[in-house]
Amino acid sequence: MISEISNPHFVEILLLEDEPSDAYLVIMALKEGKVLAHLHHVVDGREGLDFLNRTEKYANAPRPDLIFLDLNMPRMNGCEFLTAIKADEHFKSIPVVVFDLRCRKRRSLFLSARCGQLRHQAYRHAAVY
């Protein structure tokens, strides 16, 4: 949980990021921005789908209000995850912020080609779906 202010309404954020240091940067940015959020961290797309589908250890997981998605992950990468959730009626309405902390600008430019014909808006070094 990330909060410095007591408030009954927190944003539920699902973070898909396999690198602990990059996940830490996201956590620190949310804290610094005083974002009232419950952050749920998984390390790849398959685990992200388990979280969304509330399978196994995620049986009581909340529906996220927002997803932060890294592109480069093992097992199921960010493009495969994004394609899967945008094809699912239950999840396609969840906003997704796609980022790559290593190859920021170049990744945004090639995102549509790599992830199919998904509409996106690029904001500096991230794309929002």
The CATH number of the domain where 41 resides is what?
3.40.50.2300
Give residue-wise pLDDT tens across range 2-43. 444 444 578 999 999 999 998 999 999 999 998 899 999 999
Flag whether 4 is in a domain: no
Classify residue 118 as left (phi > 0), alpha (psi -120 to 50) or beta. beta
Flag whether 1 is in a domain: no
Flag whether 6 is in a domain: no
Flag whether 106 is in a domain: yes
Flag whether 53 is in a domain: yes
- Give me the pLDDT at residue 111, please: 46
- Give me the pLDDT at residue 27, please: 92
Q: What is the CA radius of gyration of the chain?
A: 14
Flag whether 5 is in a domain: no
Beta pairing partners, 99: 70, 126
Give residue-wise pLDDT tens across range 94-127. 999 887 655 544 444 444 444 544 444 444 444 4
Q: For 74-99, what is the mean pLDDT?
A: 91
- Give me the pLDDT at residue 100, please: 67
What DSSP string describes 23-69? HHHHHHHHHHTT--EEEEEESSHHHHHHHHHT-GGGTTPPPPSEEEE
Q: For 45-60, what is the mean pLDDT?
A: 96
Flag whether 2 is in a domain: no
Q: For 85-96, what is the mean pLDDT?
A: 93
Q: For 71-92, what is the mean pLDDT?
A: 91
Flag whether 105 is in a domain: yes
Residue type, 61: A
Counted domains in the chain:
1
Task: Determine the Cα–Cα distance for residues 72 and 121; give it in Å rounded to an integer.
Answer: 19
Question: Which residues form the domain of 85?
Answer: 11-128
Identify the weakest region by mean pLDDT among 81-85, 88-92, 97-101, 119-123.
119-123
